[in-house]
Amino acid sequence: MKPGRLMRLHTYRLAILLLVLFLAAPLCRAEVRLPKIFGSNMVLQRDLPLHFWGWASPGEEVKVVMGVRTVSVKSNAQGKWSCVLPALQAGGPYEVVVSGTNRIELKNILIGDVWVCGGQSNMQWRLDQTPYEEMDSVLLKHANIRLFTVPFDMDYQPREDVKGNGWQTLSLQTIHEFSAVGYHFGKYLYEHLDIPIGLVSDNLGATAAEAWMSNEALLQFPEFASLIQPVVKHGKSFDALTADFEKNKAAWFKKYYFKSVGVKEAWLKPETDVADWKLINASGNTWENEPDLKDHDGEVWFRTTFDLPENYHDENFNIALSQIDDYDMAWVNGVKIGETYGKHNHRNYSVPTRSLKPEGNVLVVRVFDVGGIGGFTTSPFWGSKILLGSWLYKKGEAIDPAKFPKVEMPNATPFSSPGVLYNGSIAPLTSFPIKGVIWYQGESNVDRAYEYRELFPALIRDWRKHWNQGDFPFLFVQLANYMDESKEPGESHWAELREAQTLTLSLPNTGMASAIDIGEAQDIHPLNKLEVGKRLGLVAMKVAYGKNVVASGPSFKSMRVDGVRLIISYDNVGGGLVSKDKYGYLRGFQVAGADKKFYWAQARMVDGKVEVVCDKVKQPIAVRYAWDNNPGPLDLYNAEGLPAVPFRTDTFKGSTEGQVFVEGPRF
**Closest to 620 (Cα-Cα) out of 567, 570, 554:** 567
Containing 191, the helix (H) or strand (E) segment is helix 180-193
What pLDDT does 504 receive?
A: 98
Angle in degrees, 0-180, between the axes of helices 493-503 and 449-467, rounded to the nearest 10: 30
- Interval 538-552: pLDDT, tens: 999 999 999 999 999
Question: Residue 247's pLDDT band (boundaries 50, 70, 90)?
Answer: very high
pLDDT, greater one: 13 or 536: 536
Q: Tell me the residue type at 5.
A: R
Of 5-19, 113-127, 146-160, 201-215, the one with minimum mean pLDDT is 5-19
Give percent of the chain with pLDDT exceeding 70. Answer: 95
Whether the predicted pLDDT of 667 surpasses 80: no
What pLDDT does 378 receive?
A: 87
- Coil, helix or strand for 79? coil
Between CA 444 and CA 122 the distance in angstroms is 11
> Average model confidence (pLDDT) for the chain?
94
Whether the predicted pLDDT of 195 surpasses 90: yes
Whether the predicted pLDDT of 511 surpasses 90: yes
322 backbone dihedrals φ, ψ, rounded to 5°: 60, -135
Beta bridge partners of 110: 43
Between CA 92 and CA 222 the distance in angstroms is 48
pLDDT (mean) for 7-12: 49
What pLDDT does 29 receive?
A: 60
**Closest to 636 (Cα-Cα) out of 550, 568, 552, 577:** 577
pLDDT (mean) for 117-143: 98
CA-derived radius of gyration, the chain: 30
HEC profile for 37-89? Answer: CCCCCCEEECCCCEEEEEECCCCCEEEEEECCEEEEEECCCCCEEEEEECCCC
What pLDDT does 20 receive?
A: 41
What pLDDT does 196 receive?
A: 98
What pLDDT does 380 receive?
A: 76
- Coil, helix or strand for 363? strand
What pLDDT does 28 receive?
A: 47
User: Interior CA angle at 407 toward 402 and 409, to 5°?
Assistant: 140
CA 197, 200, 204, 209 torsion: positive or negative? negative
pLDDT (mean) for 192-206: 98
pLDDT (mean) for 305-330: 95
CA 350, 355, 356, 362 torsion: positive or negative? negative
pLDDT (mean) for 199-215: 98
What pLDDT does 549 receive?
A: 97
pLDDT (mean) for 558-570: 98
Between CA 594 and CA 597 the distance in angstroms is 8
Contact (CB, 8 A) for 511 and 543 = yes
What pLDDT does 30 receive?
A: 81
What pLDDT does 494 receive?
A: 98
- Coil, helix or strand for 482? strand
Between CA 291 and CA 15 the distance in angstroms is 78
Whether the predicted pLDDT of 24 surpasses 50: no
Whether the predicted pLDDT of 601 surpasses 50: yes
Contact (CB, 8 A) for 114 and 434 = yes
Between CA 104 and CA 33 the distance in angstroms is 8
- Coil, helix or strand for 475? strand
Of 5-19, 206-220, 247-261, 547-561, the one with minimum mean pLDDT is 5-19
CATH number for region 239-398: 2.60.120.260
User: Interior CA angle at 353 toward 347 and 357, to 5°?
Assistant: 105
What pLDDT does 666 receive?
A: 54
pLDDT (mean) for 489-496: 98
67 backbone dihedrals φ, ψ, rounded to 5°: 65, -125
- Interval 379-402: pLDDT, tens: 877 777 888 889 999 999 999 999
**Closest to 160 (Cα-Cα) out of 419, 429, 410, 421:** 429
- Interval 36-71: pLDDT, tens: 999 999 999 999 999 999 999 999 999 999 999 999
Whether the predicted pLDDT of 15 surpasses 50: no
Beta bridge partners of 556: 570
Q: Tell me the residue type at 584.
A: G
Whether the predicted pLDDT of 3 surpasses 60: no
Task: Write down the pTM of the prediction.
Answer: 0.94
What pLDDT does 527 receive?
A: 97
What pLDDT does 381 receive?
A: 74
- Coil, helix or strand for 588? coil
- Coil, helix or strand for 350? strand
Whether the predicted pLDDT of 27 surpasses 90: no
- Interval 134-185: pLDDT, tens: 999 999 999 999 999 999 999 999 999 999 999 999 999 999 999 999 999 9
Question: What residues does each domain of the chain span?
Answer: 239-398, 555-644
Would you give the end-to-end CA distance of the chain in angstroms?
77
**Closest to 333 (Cα-Cα) out of 269, 392, 277:** 269
Q: Where are the beta strands (DSSP E) in 480-533?
A: 510-514
What pLDDT does 363 receive?
A: 98
Neighbouring CB atoms inside 10 A of 11's CB total 10
- Interval 254-284: pLDDT, tens: 999 999 999 999 999 999 999 999 999 988 8
DSSP 460: H
What pLDDT does 379 receive?
A: 81
